[in-house]
Structure 1
Amino acid sequence: MKRFWGFVKKEFFHIFRDVRTMIILFGIPIAQLMLFGTVITNEIKDAHLAIYDQSKDEVTQEITAKLLSSGYFILDQYLESTEDVEAIFRKGKVKEVLVFEPNFAQTLEKEGKANVQVIADASDPNMGKLLASYTSGIINDYILKEMGELALPMQLEPEVRMFYNEGLRSVYMFVPGIMAMILMLISAMMTSISITREKELGTMEILLVSPLRPVQIILGKVAPYLALSIINALVILLIGHWVFGVPIAGSWVLLMAESILFILMALCLGILISTVSKNQMVAMFISMIALMLPTILLSGFIFPIENMPVPLQIISHLMPPRWFIVILKNVMLKGTGFLYVWKETLILLGMAVVFTAIAVRKFKMRLE
């Protein structure tokens, strides 16, 4: 028994001395708890709101003030006409538009009811429903508390309209997100094990002393996976459109071009991972674990980025799927062109260039 406890004690010491094991045992659970605890929330926070106020009377101004003071909304701008509604939704920043009818206060006092329209961006159906529900509740609370003493019973039921997804089908949100996640994980994982396989088979030295330049080796590794991943992306789009009924309102050419850029970026990231990994298991661990959770939690795929703490919002800017999902929703659901997604496109292009440059540098360091 004494020998057994001595053996157990030795194992404890081995674990405590291994930094990687301690990180897996305690670091990853703590990081997951912090991520899930701060990201997973059904609350609305700082949603951008636009208002088309045709009345501009005291009541509409008080309702606007109540909405903005709730902490759920931030006023983005006042609109000049209803024709501006779709244009401002296409920009992606504004999530809801509030439209007051002319002579709102006068109509409410005389007839006991007035019309207000709540138009929400339902490309994210959960967010759209929450925004409309919060807005209706705040408006009715104002009517009940501020105008309940009037002789006529006040009745104000906002007319809710959902843009881009009138049926509030969740598949409109999940198909772009799942597409980004699949292409990110599969492309990165396939290439991440390519160079580590060469290391394990002992053929890396042959590559390093070959006449090929480092950039040629990387391009040679990426090219086959790029072609296969493009086919994969096309299959996902066709299934999403024909099986699940997700509309593709924009250009197929633009959609495929953006998909190819994202795939190329993911493949370059996979090559970078493979150059810093000692074996295939480490490469797959980094690709699956280190990329999957951030893709799900910090890309806006499921949980709105605006609701996250500021530090996580900043970190989310480093997540490539965040920008690709924005592109997919704009092109597929909103039918926008390149002028609305040029910023996200440049970001993905910049990431691909950076990942490739670092991977090439790693190769050169091996050659020196």
Structure 2
Amino acid sequence: MKQLLTFVKKEFWHVLRDRRTLLILFGMPIVQVLLFGFALSTEVKNTKIGVLDHDKSQNSLELISKINSNQYFEVDKNLKSINETEDAFKTGHIKMILVIPDDFSENFMLGKKGQLQLITDGTDINLANQIINFMNNIVLDLYGQTTAQPMSGAIPEIRMLYNPQLKGAPNFVPGVMALILLIICVLMTAIAIVREKETGTMEVLLVSPMKPSIIILAKAIPYFILSMIILISIIVLSVTLLELPIKGNLLLLFIVSVIFIITNLLIGILISIMTDSQQNAMLISLVGTMLPTVMLSGFMFPIENMPPPLQVVANVIPAKWYYEIVKNIMIKGTGIEVIWKHILVLSGTMILLFALAVKKFKIRLE
């Protein structure tokens, strides 16, 4: 028993002296509880909507005021015609448009039900359904309980833009593309280079006549080619099996994907420079890239529902911009006039990571 206690004590000291282990043991649970408990939520909060009010009566103004006064919606845009509807959705900020017809108030005066049209962005079907349910509750609360005549009230007519069949593919295909390309590029590249360090062959390569940049490039090219093959496979499967047509420019999609792939390869190279073992490289890749991509890219949790600090962090993640670009090109059919800011941010991140990788690698070689 004394020997057992001695070994237990020794193991405790090993754990307590290892700051990385302590960070994982105590830091990760706390961070996950805070994130999933307070920050990451699928609830509808402060969702920006547009309003097209043809009626412009006291009833319609009362409805708009009721919507704007709750915590779920924020009237961000007042449209003038139905032609502005699709343009409002292409920016990605507007999640729903409320259309109030010109006979809305007249129907109330005649004791009839007033028709409302709810147009939602169907690319994220789960979020769209939640928005519709919340809006239905607001309409029911305002008209379903206050009206004196049982046949009066308001009936919302629902329309899912970009996804009238209510399929899940328009949401998960762009997210899967971002996640798979991230795994292939970051995780595999980081492990491949660190493996050379662990086996001692990296030093042999560095003293060879080839320049270090050529060695790194040779390590990255196979994963770049594999990523392009996987990208083509995902697109082909999406079009053929999932019946998800690409509405936008296919060439533009490939150009943006190349920028995203190179960005992830550079992240993997940076991780390989900072680490000296495959275990550490995998840990940093999973915690530092995969988890933020899943949680903060907008693929699973709406970014607008997050606290402002997390929204700032989300803007740093390359997958967030790529996910929005793919949704715009594939599902909405938008061109570079809408996503040029996203491409600029993604390209700037790639250039910054390249400069940082070159600088760090030169310092390591000296």
Q: 1:228 aligns with which of 226, 229, 242?
A: 226
1:205 Cα deviation after fit: 2.9
Report the CA distance shift for 1:280/1:31 in structure 2 as closer, same or farther (over 3 A): same
Q: What residue is the counterpart of 1:323 in the other structure?
A: 321
Farther-moved stretch of structure 1 (311-320 vs 47-56): 311-320
How far is 1:221 from its partner?
A: 2.5
Give the corresponding residue for 2:63: 63
- Cα distance in 2 for partners of 1:49, 1:200 equals 54
In structure 2, C-alpha distance between the alignment counterparts of 1:140 and 1:27, rounded to whole Å? 45
Instruction: Give distance in 2, aligned partners of 1:262 and 1:38.
Output: 30
Report the alpha carbon displacement of residue 125 of structure 1 after superposing the two structures with TM: 0.4
Aligned counterparts, 1:344-355, within 5 A: 344-355=342-353
Amino acid in the other structure paired with 1:122: G
For the structure 1 residues 196 and 289, does the alpha-carbon distance in structure 2 shift closer, same or farther, using more than 3 Å as the test?
A: same
What is aligned with 2:269? Answer: 271
Partner SS, residue 239 of structure 1? helix
Q: Residue in 1 aligned with 2:178?
A: 180
The TM-score normalised by the length of structure 2 is 0.95
Gaps of 5+ in 2: none
Q: CA deviation at 1:7?
A: 2.1
State the match for 1:28 in structure 2.
28
Separation of aligned partners in 2, 1:338 and 1:207: 42
Q: Which moves more between the two structures, 44-53 or 312-321?
A: 312-321
Q: Which residue of 1 aligns with 2:115?
A: 115
Q: Give runs of aligned pairs for residues 75-224 of structure 1, distance below 5 A.
A: 75-146=75-146, 148-149=147-148, 151=149, 153-224=151-222
Higher mean C-alpha displacement, 104-113 vs 226-235:
104-113
CA contact (8 A) 1:55 1:104 kept: yes
State the distance in 2 between where 1:338 and 1:76 align: 24
Q: Which residue of 2 aligns with 1:253?
A: 251
Equivalence for 2:297: 299
Residue identity matched to 1:290? G
Match of 1:244 among 239, 242, 247: 242
The aligned counterpart of 1:290 is 288
State the shift of 1:166 in Å: 1.1
CA contact (8 A) 1:112 1:154 kept: yes
1:231-277 CA-to-partner distances (Å, cap 9, x unmatched) read: 11111111122112222111111111111111111111111111111
Q: Counterpart amino acid of 2:294?
A: I
Structure 1 residue 206, shift from structure 2 partner: 3.8
Per mean C-alpha deviation after superposition, the further-off stretch among 41-50 and 27-36 is 27-36
SS in 1 for 2:193: helix
For structure 1, the residue ranges without an aligned partner over 5 or more in a row are: none
Match of 2:308 in 1: 310
Amino acid at match of 2:237: I
Q: Summarize deviations over 1:167-216 as a string: whole Å, max 9, x none.
A: 22112211111111010111111211232122123233344445544444
AA of the residue aligned to 2:170: Y
Shift of 1:324: 0.7
Confirm or deny: 8 A CA contact 1:39 1:297 kept in the other structure.
no
1:342, 1:62 → 2: CA distance?
38
> Match of 1:37?
37
Secondary structure of the residue aligned to 1:165 is coil
Distance, in Å, in 2 between the alignment partners of 1:57 and 1:215 is 68
* Helix, strand or coil at the partner of 1:333: helix
| Residue 31 (structure 1) shift | 1.7
Stretch moving more, 284-293 or 234-243: 284-293
CA distance in 2, matches of 1:128, 1:335: 19
TM-score (norm 1): 0.95
Alignment coverage as a number of residue pairs: 366
- Larger deviation, residues 242-251 vs 103-112: 103-112
Cα distance in 1 for residues equivalent to 2:2 and 2:132:
68
Tell me the secondary structure at the aligned position of residue 45 of structure 1: coil
Contact 2:42 2:302 in 1 (8 A): no
CA contact (8 A) 2:181 2:261 kept: yes
How far is the alpha carbon of 1:160 from its aligned partner?
0.6
Q: CA deviation at 1:39?
A: 4.3
Q: Which residue of 2 aligns with 1:46?
A: 46
Which amino acid counterpart does residue 45 of structure 1 have in structure 2? K
Structure 1 residues 299-353: Cα deviation after superposition (integer angstroms, max 9, x where no partner) = 1111111112222212111111111110111011101111111111111111111
Q: Which runs of 4+ in 1 moved over 6 A?
A: none
Q: Offset of 1:123 from its aligned partner?
A: 0.6
- Secondary structure of 1:51's partner? strand
